[in-house]
Amino acid sequence: MTEKSPSNLRENLSSPMSWYYAGLAIMILLVAGLAIRLGLDWAAVSESSKDALAGKQGELKTLEVQTAPLRGLDHRVLLSREQMQDFYAKRIPAAYSSISARIGELEVKSGVRLSRLQYTQGTTGNDLTEISMDAGISGEYPQIMRFINGLERDQTFFVIRAMNLTGQQGGMVNLRLRLSTWLRPADVPRGLPQATDRPIDSTTVPAKEGE
């Protein structure tokens, strides 16, 4: 095997094929370097994206927990309004006169005797106004209990505020009773006295004139 002379070496280096292979090698090295750099950058971006995604998922989970009580709120508000209107239609007196009419029916049904019935009104609200009643009732104990139970179970919405036994003679019992119902503001008559918070005392309830 003969050694190449310097002139042959120079000829080989100066040939187009030598430059071609050298350039190809350099290109391969550049492409490999770029591929490695791209891979490293992609890994960094991917890791950052994962962290960002995890953070966003955590925020979303927190928002879901915070907004859970508000889900379906519009439906619940609508349902509450419907229930309120249904309650008003069924249990709030349609007129002022219907209050005394209903109490009169319970009086007859239970067998008690009302010696008086005074009405006052509370503060007028946006939807309803409280109507307070102060009544003197007499009758046998079972009759009074039937009257009280009738008030509590009546379709008309009555709330017993206070009651006190004011006297007893033989089998007859006298009861002082304060209760409330509500009217729509438009149904409240003019000139009705304002209610006070005075407690019920134990004085005997006066009878109606002529009794």
Express each pLDDT in 102-160 by its tens digit: 999 999 999 999 988 999 998 787 889 999 999 999 999 999 999 999 999 999 999 99
Region of 201 (left: φ > 0; alpha: ψ -120 to 50; beta: rest) is beta
Q: For the chain, what is the domain count?
A: 2
- What is the side-by-side order of every strand in the sheet holding 159-169? 113-124, 129-140, 172-183, 159-169
pLDDT of amino acid 114? 93
Nearest to 139 by CA among 178, 117, 169, 103: 169
Domain identity same for 60 and 135: no
As a whole number of angstroms, the distance between CA 138 and CA 114 comes to: 6
Residue 84 lies in a domain: no
As a whole number of angstroms, the distance between CA 71 and CA 77 comes to: 11
Q: Residue 170 belongs to a domain with what CATH number?
A: 3.30.70.60
* Locus of tokens 């019935």: 117
Domain identity same for 100 and 183: yes
- Alpha carbons within 13 angstroms on the beta-carbon side of residue 128 total 17
Nearest to 179 by CA among 150, 202, 203: 150
Residue 88 reports pLDDT greater than 90:
no
Domain enclosing residue 182, as ranges: 96-187
Residue 130 lies in a domain: yes
Confidence of residue 77 (pLDDT cuts 50, 70, 90): confident
Amino acid found at 204: T
Residue 36 reports pLDDT greater than 50:
yes
Domain identity same for 105 and 177: yes
As a whole number of angstroms, the distance between CA 63 and CA 58 comes to: 9
Domain identity same for 57 and 121: no
Question: What is the pTM assigned to this prediction?
Answer: 0.59
As a whole number of angstroms, the distance between CA 168 and CA 176 comes to: 12
Residue 211 lies in a domain: no
As a whole number of angstroms, the distance between CA 112 and CA 147 comes to: 7
pLDDT of amino acid 99? 94
Residue 43 lies in a domain: yes
Domain identity same for 128 and 48: no
Residue 211 reports pLDDT greater than 70:
no
As a whole number of angstroms, the distance between CA 104 and CA 211 comes to: 18
